[in-house]
Structures are given as structure tokens and as C-alpha cells.
Structure 1
């Protein structure tokens, strides 16, 4: 403390704007803590050395606040919060631990794991009931005061209608790390993702909305670093307003904003995958980095009769307490910040069921859903929930309120089942292809409420889904015990890569079947980046810790990859051009008829036939548009009698997964059309 100045007195400032807010002459600092007894603002020089401590002088409505004239952008800071250290009562104040401001807009440096990060003595028998006096500041990332100004002139949000939306899930770092067209120094950053060669590729593919895996500042878990790995996916947030440091270029926050503007210039939306359900502080034995030391009892859900312990509905050690009004405010303030200041177009909420939890359980009229639903900013962006967590009643597919879309894992599982084995899956498959009305056609929700996907970041890629019977996660260092075991995958004769032309042929056809089903189904499709040309992770279905070639997109494409890419582009163009393939409203008068290979309407007996694996779908709009989809999961060809067009004339086969490079061909006359084994036809 000898070299740390402590005599400066802050002005009162104001409690109404949390975080560090620069006004052109100085900075206002405001921090919520209901149970703190004193809050010290710690200032650091450019080398990360603490130079000054200033006690925040005022406490208003549970907000500690003060104003420092002359302090502006670039100032590095953190907090020390004084109060009771009483873990059994839920309080874990320890002023020896430097704390990240929950509202920090920028972090500098990264964590250097040290025993000093823990509020207790790691070697003590009573563990977290003890008190540790070591200073954690030398090992902590620090907060930075920012200048929020940015020239957004000319930026126009694409505002893509829901029925036209196609999500493209990707990773800031992994998408460009191996891209030959991106300058090496920009790869893996927001600047790299902003390059014309990247944006033009995504635009030409035909998707509309780029969904980025978490970009909020997160931590690399110590146990991963000890194994030579690190957190790649980013589901370990520690600051909900700050972008991840290793993704930022020289422009820092401006790099993110420039990326958003570049995507908008191309008519592409930016969707953020966000993790408000838990933080990187873990359970009672986790480190004290921010929320735990600021106001543990308010920020986290603790066990009602044992506040020392945390409710763990997330499976990560803690659960953010959105039932508390100030914590709920933090989440909604964060969301508004990314929309208003950074111009993002929507969010996908990881373990979204958590956000709807109240003390009595999940409630679709809970505080979070109500707050977002009435918010004039947030109610107008795309909101997508991952509708499950591991807590009681955590599976809520179809249970989110109107206005929300949801990841539809029923679609993923049942479409995989159908193309893997066909027989016994027709009924469920049919429901998914036509928008999962059994799940979403309630309370005025639309077909777009179901986000359909075959693959996502978590699980097999499309290529690996048809190349492996089992997961191969040995590189993760957990003896292949991590990752999901129920993949509904099949290797068609050989585990992994093969030179066998017969196996390669059936795998390529199955890739086309799966991606064609996805893009021709009603609902909102989501494509995992790289699936359009068959990216592999070598059978690893849990690449969360693989920041390397296992997870990075490989841009070296062979002939079969190019064929799949062209096929995917053609499907996306067909979907965009034909509204009948992207139904917007359950009550649009569309005729939906499931037909059997004989050409008649599917009967109850045929639906109940466990051996049936071929079916057709006839769609008709009031405006006179028609389409037929024929699905054949059988090994061999099946003759299929086409229905007569209501307006007369011939059908055109525009998609044939058995012949992906064929031009459209006309089909007429009473003779049935042959649908090849394991293939799909689209006729318009």
C-alpha cells in the first residue's frame, strides 16, 4: 500500500447509470451491492500496477457511486468490496480480491491463475469457510473506461423477416483461423470476420443471419490450461458487456462495431449467442473474480436453507439469480447495450430455461420474459431460446412465450432417426418437416418459432454424423467420457475416413438428404458453418476445448466438397424464391397433404405401419403455387405416383439428392417416378 495513493476524494456522482460512464470531463462509477459495507475503486497504470484507491463516497438505493474529474477513456480499474465474510449466510466479501465491474465495457489482460484468486485458503480443511488475505490484483484482468463514440452513419439493420431467416452458426476465431484469403494477422478476430472474402462468401451462400458463438469476455478454465487446452466455445462468461479480448483487433471495441456494420452492408444480420445463465466463478469452491465478491447473495441463486451452497440448474456450479431486480436489470441492460450501442440484431440464449426460472420453477410469465416482452428495444430483435437446462422441469421445448423462437431438438433427433433407419419414424418426421405444429401452433405463434437444425456446435458435424458410430473425444483429455453418447449417427461400414467409393457415395447422399430436408422444411433453419461443404472434426463431438485444427474450419475443399457446397447454395436459393417452402403463418390457407407412394392420401393404417419408410408431401397455396416432396429412406428405389397438379401441366424435378448436379427435368404422364434409394425429390 506504500505506493498506492489513497487521499483522493471522489465527488458524489450519480447512481442512475451503472458501470463506468465517461461524460467528456470525467467518469462516473456506480456499482450495485445490497450488502457491502464499503467499496473501493482501484486505479491502475498501463502496466497493470495499482496506483490509487478511491472510496466511493455515496450509497443510494443499494448503489455505490462516485465521480472522478479528469479520469477518462483508457483508465484501467477494478473494485475491492468490503463486507462480511460469512459463507454460511451467503456472504463472501473479501477486499483482498480485485473484482471485475459487472458493467465493464472492456477488459484488458487475461487471467493468470493463482491461488490468490480464491477467497479462502485452498489447503485448509474447512475450505471456503476460511479467509484468504492474498492480493489477487496482479493476476486479474482489469476493466477499462471506454469512449463509446462510433460513427454509425449509413448503417441500416437488415431486419430480415422471420420466414426468410436462415441462421448460420459460426465461431469468430474458428471461421477465419485457416482462411487463406484473410491476412494472417487478422485471422481469428472480428477484423478477420469483416474481410470482404469472408462476408462475400457468407452472402453468396444464401443465409441471412450470422449467429456467433459467445463473444462476451470469458475465461480459460485452469484445468484446461493445465492440459494444454483452453476454452474455445466461450460458454464461461465473466463480463456481459465486454467483448472477448482475443477476438479484438487493434481497434478494440471498434473492431466489433466495424464487423457488424460490414455484415449489415451485405444485408446480413448479426446474432449473438449469450450466456446469462451462469458465470465463470463456479460453485462455493470457485474463484472470487466479480459477482461473488460484490454481492454473492444477490447475484446467485443459493440453496434456501444452506446459503453457502449454490443451486446448480446449469451444471456449471452456479446459477445467475434473475429473480433479483438488479440482476435482471443487469441482463436487460446488457442486451440493450449490444442492440443500441453495437447494433446487433438478436440473441440466442444458452440454457434459456434458466432465465425463466423463479423460486417456484420455470414460469413463461416470469420476470425476465415479462421484462423483455414489454421492452421497446428488445421486443423488436430476434430472440431465440435454448429451451432446456438440467434443473427440475428444465426441458421446455414449446414452453417459451409468444414472440420467442426456440432451438427445436425434436427436429434434430427425429430427422436424424428417419434418414438413419426410416421405418417407424414417419409420423414424427412428418410433424417436423411441416413446422412442428404439435409443438408451436399455440397462442398465435408462427412456424418460424421452431429453429430447425441437424447439427450445431455441440455434437457431430454433418460429415461426422454420417461417418462415425461413436464419438472420438480422446483429444479432450477426459478418456472419451465427455460429450453426448446418443448421436443417432451411422458410419455406413467404416468408422471415420475411408477410400471406399461405395461408402463415400452413400455418405455424400445422406449429407444431401439431411441438408435438403433442413432447408425444405417449414420453420427457421440453422446451418452449422462448414456443413455446407462437409467439414469434419475427426469424430470429436465436444470440441469446446479444441482451439486448433480440430475445430477450425478447413477451407481446402475437394471435388465432393464443392458439389455439396453448390447443392446447398441451390437449395437456399430455392427456399428464398419459393414462399411455399418457408411457410410464414399456420392460417395462410395452405393445403398440406401427406401422400403414400401409390399417390393416395396417407391413411391411418399406413401411418401406423412400422415398416414404412417412404412418404410424400403435397403442398398447395391459395395463390396456386404447388410443391411435392418425396422422401425415401429405403435402401432401394421406390416408384412414386405423383398427384395431378390442380392447375394442370407437368411437374419439374428441381432437387434430386441422388443426382445433385442434374438440371431440372419435367415429369408428366400417369407413370410413377422412381425415387432412388436413400434420396429426396423436390418437384415444383
Structure 2
């Protein structure tokens, strides 16, 4: 892409007068006459709105936002319309030792963008410092615009018709965890051009199949726009799971049959799910972003206001607190960051009509500077919010920070993934001794963890498998993980799988081993569905899907992860 600027006489912005606009709502808001632009940055000295041509390739104008109100930079463009492509350049101190990483040479994604265009091409210009030196105290003057994504103004209009949310009660809920692409990429019932897309997932045959399983709610792995890791691309791999978010309001274009219409295609998928009586729950990642640590790229938040958006070491703000294990931690103790996350949740619940959320590394969201607090700002906000109080909220109740394991520690109104159920049920059926009391507790709803403050058994989301770990088939087929395809020397992934191969590692033709494996899968599934709590089934476990022993297939966007529909009816491979 070229970022060459056109002469002012040719620019759209030259034909308009920037007006002061309003500081609220944040983001780019079309009001039928023009677009209001509003960006939070507490430490910036100037903000430039950059407009691009209709192809999103050429920067045609930079306009300084004229007003600054309550730490919000804002302006109004009467001639801007839905489809306008834009980005920000934010001026301020580049002082990493003080926590500030402003660099106006870097084009930034609007944190409140509702649409994105283009893609990220890894290049040293994406970094705020001179990447070649490896020293983040240096300052890089290269323009990142040719290599990064642009934001786009959207018109949110969509006709929902007689649409109605299913509103499945918690005590009737059965969750089915699936991946938008992996669910239909190999499905012969879906038209080829729709396979692996929102539209494909919403086709009648797919919905009929999901309904036939008796589940009520489909939990989708992340669909927020995310970044492909450069180190994976260098190895010819991709981030398949999507836990690398860069934009909390935009549906990922990669899952749209027509990428420019991802917004409406996602809505149509939700409408079709609801028409079938199925709920849509989104796996969301608000604990970190794709910008990494001090050596990571400057794509959005880091360049807008690094010191506000991220948790930094109190005595060395050059460095990031890394309770997520991904390089950075989002700072939900800051009121504007908390606002962004809750605004995003309300947007997906109201505008996109989803029914609930599963929060990745949710302990982070309840963590204050002094540690996890079930009365922390984010958790209290959800409890009192009239919108969020009426959708399903599911926590993954752990992170890698101090005191990060919090199963049973979330407040009323929340459900939680219960890994104790997974581990105790697996270990019991594997044959480990002394587990009858623990198994009884899990079958009875894990009251030792959840029976407090009026919480009901449904607060325990019981599962045997999830996207992270062995499939059910592999739990009874492998003693050890086999992650060599990930290119990390089989060092990645968990080694404590509580699995057993019954005499042969992997596939076998031995009829006795095949029979016992099938029986054990049925035993565990029976335990899952007969226990008190909210059961969660991993997509494909119902027909013994295998990942060939890979228990960390996060980078396998291929047949390892995609559901093999030809395997239905093959009792044991």
C-alpha cells in the first residue's frame, strides 16, 4: 500500500470544515449527516485524524482534532459517511521509561472501530522503536501506514425482522464449544464458498445438526478481529484459535464469505441461530492485546495511550506486568479502559444480539493492583449493569499471575469453567485410586466450590475437554502429547493430561483396545451429562474427533483442527 498524500486540492477533507463535535460516544459515529470522531488519550499532546481513499490505500488528508474535553479528543466531519476509511496519528512524549510510547509515524487503529479494512504485513515500520537495534528506547521514524490496518466508519442498520433471543434458562443450558471455521470447513452439506464462514455456520443443515445433539448454546472461539503472529507466519503456521485480539468491536473479516460485509454476515448468522432456538456465546479476550510487551508493535492502544491502557511495573513503567503470559495485561483498573471493555460487551449484546460471553483468563478482569477481588471494578460493573446482568457470563477462572487460580471465587451471577470436574472425572475413569469422594462431589455439582452466596449448581460449567487440550478420543488414545507439528519441539502444551492409551499409543486395529476406548468415552460423556451443573461439549467429541495427539492445536488451521465429517460413523480409528 502507498501512504503518499494527495495535494490538498484533491482531498475530500479540504472541501469540509472540521467542527468541534462531541466527546461522546467514543469512536466514529455516523448520525445521518456526518461523522463524529472521539478518541480517549490522557497523555497525548495532539491527535490527527487520517483519511484514506475509498480503496484504503492512499492517505489523502490529515486533520487535527480541534477539541479536548475530559481527556477525549474529538471533532465532527459533516462530509464523512459510512465507508469512510481512517486512522489516527497520536502525538506525545516518547519516553518508555515513563511509560509513554507515542509515535505519530505509526498509524493507529481506533480502539472503538466498528469496521476494519486491509491486513497487517509484518515490517519493522510497525514498531515504535528501531526494531533492528533491539532497543525499545530508540525512536523509529518510518511510516507504518503501508503495513497496518485501517478503521472504517459503518452504518449499523440491520433488519432483524421478527427476531427474538432464545433466553435459555441457566438450569436448562447445554454448551457446545466450536470454532467458526473449523466447524464447517470440511462439511459437505455446506456450499463450498460458504465453508468456514459465519454464513456457512448459519446454514440450515448445520443448525439442524447442532439442534439434533440436544445442546442449547453454541460457544464460539474468538471472533473479534485478531492479529496473525509474525513468529508463526515465519514457520508457515497461523494463529487458528484467535486469542490475539486487536479490535474489540469488529467481527473478524477472515470468517466472512464476503469480508467487507463481515458485520452484517455475523448478524445474519446470529439471527439464524436464534431462529433455530440456539444461543450464541462468544469467547472474548479482554485480558491482553496483540501488541505484546515493550518489544512488540505499535498498532493501536500502545500508541494511543500506553500508560493508561496497560498495567505497567510500578517502579519501572518501561516494562509490562505479564499476568497473562502474552507480554502485556490490559489495565481494567483505569476507568476509561473499563469503559471500553464494558462498552464492547454491551455492543455485542445489544447491536450484535449475542447471548453471552466466555471470558478468557477471567481472573485478570477481577484483578486490581493488589490482587484478585471478587468485588473488583469490572466484576461489580457487570453485576449492576442492566444489559450485562441479563446475558450469560462465563469465567475461565485462572491466569498465570499470583493468586491466579480462582475456581469458585467469582461473584453471584457468574458461571465458571470447572477444571476440577475435568480432572477428577478423567482420573477416575482412567483408574486412579481414592477418587470416589471427589467424583461424588463433581457429580453433585461441586458444592465444595460453588455452594455459597446463593450460587446454584449451574455456576459450575462441567467439561471433559475444550479447545485447549486433548479431544475426548485422544484422552483415551494417547499417554503423551504429540505437538511436533507446532514447531516447538513438543515443548508446548500441557503434559498432565490424565489420559491413557490402553496399550497402544495412538491408532490401533486391536479390537479389544478399540472397544475399551469407545466404552470409556461413553462412560465419561454419561458422567458429564448426568452430573449437576452446566455441561459443555467440545465440537466433534460426539463422533470421536481426533487431533492425532496434539493437545495445543492453536496454530493448526488445517485438518488437525477442522471437524472431519467423514469420520461420523467410524466408531474408533
Name the TM-score, length of structure 2 as normaliser. Answer: 0.97
2:197 to 165, 170, 189: 189
Return closer, same or farther for 1:164/1:4 CA change in 2, 3 Å cut-off.
farther
**1:545 maps to what in 2?**
555
Q: Equivalent residues in 2 for 1:261-660 (5 A)? A: 261-561=271-571
Q: CA offset at residue 559 of structure 1? A: 3.4
Give per-residue Cα distances to partners, 1:602-631, cap 9 Å, x unaligned: xxxxxxxxxxxxxxxxxxxxxxxxxxxxxx
Alpha-carbon distance between aligned partners in 2 of 1:100 and 1:452, rounded to the nearest angstrom? 38
For these two proteins, the number of residue pairs brought into alignment is: 562
1:20 to 2:28 alignment: yes
**1:149 maps to what in 2?**
157
Q: Secondary structure in 1 aligned to 2:131?
A: coil
Q: CA offset at residue 54 of structure 1? A: 1.0
Alpha-carbon distance between aligned partners in 1 of 2:406 and 2:431, rounded to the nearest angstrom? 27
**2:124 maps to what in 1?**
115
**1:587 maps to what in 2?**
none
Give per-residue Cα distances to partners, 1:647-680, cap 9 Å, x unaligned: xxxxxxxxxxxxxxxxxxxxxxxxxxxxxxxxxx
Contact 2:459 2:533 (C-alpha < 8 Å) held by counterparts: yes
Alpha-carbon distance between aligned partners in 1 of 2:455 and 2:7, rounded to the nearest angstrom? 59
Alpha-carbon distance between aligned partners in 2 of 1:407 and 1:506, rounded to the nearest angstrom? 28
Give per-residue Cα distances to partners, 1:224-274, cap 9 Å, x unaligned: 001110100000000000011101233321100000000000110000000
Q: CA offset at residue 141 of structure 1? A: 1.1
| Root-mean-square deviation over aligned CA pairs | 1.2
Alpha-carbon distance between aligned partners in 2 of 1:204 and 1:172, rounded to the nearest angstrom? 19
Deviates more, 1:240-249 or 1:208-217: 240-249
Alpha-carbon distance between aligned partners in 1 of 2:437 and 2:565, rounded to the nearest angstrom? 38
Contact 1:9 1:54 (C-alpha < 8 Å) held by counterparts: no
**2:97 maps to what in 1?**
88
Q: CA offset at residue 557 of structure 1? A: 2.7
Contact 2:99 2:312 (C-alpha < 8 Å) held by counterparts: yes
Q: Secondary structure in 2 aligned to 1:507?
A: helix
Deviates more, 1:248-257 or 1:387-396: 248-257
Q: Any runs of at least 4 consecutive aligned residues in structure 1 with deviations exceeding 2 A, and if so which?
A: 1-9, 249-252, 557-561
Q: CA offset at residue 122 of structure 1? A: 1.3
Contact 2:194 2:200 (C-alpha < 8 Å) held by counterparts: yes
Contact 2:543 2:568 (C-alpha < 8 Å) held by counterparts: no
**1:240 maps to what in 2?**
248
Contact 1:4 1:50 (C-alpha < 8 Å) held by counterparts: no
Q: CA offset at residue 153 of structure 1? A: 2.3
If asked which structure has higher relative contact order (CA below 8 Å, sep 6+), I would say 2
Q: Secondary structure in 2 aligned to 1:252?
A: helix
Alpha-carbon distance between aligned partners in 2 of 1:498 and 1:540, rounded to the nearest angstrom? 17
Alpha-carbon distance between aligned partners in 2 of 1:348 and 1:70, rounded to the nearest angstrom? 40
Give per-residue Cα distances to partners, 1:4-61, cap 9 Å, x unaligned: 6475541111001000100111111000000000001111113321111111110000
Name the TM-score, length of structure 1 as normaliser. Answer: 0.81
Deviates more, 1:246-255 or 1:86-95: 246-255
Return closer, same or farther for 1:431/1:2 CA change in 2, 3 Å cut-off.
closer
**2:52 maps to what in 1?**
44
Q: CA offset at residue 188 of structure 1? A: 0.9
1:104 to 2:104 alignment: no
Deviates more, 1:484-493 or 1:5-14: 5-14
**1:70 maps to what in 2?**
79
Q: CA offset at residue 109 of structure 1? A: 1.5
Q: Secondary structure in 2 aligned to 1:158?
A: coil
Larger Rg: 1
Give per-residue Cα distances to partners, 1:35-88, cap 9 Å, x unaligned: 000001111113321111111110000000001012111111110000000000
Alpha-carbon distance between aligned partners in 2 of 1:208 and 1:357, rounded to the nearest angstrom? 31
Alpha-carbon distance between aligned partners in 2 of 1:359 and 1:205, rounded to the nearest angstrom? 44
Q: CA offset at residue 2 of structure 1? A: 5.3
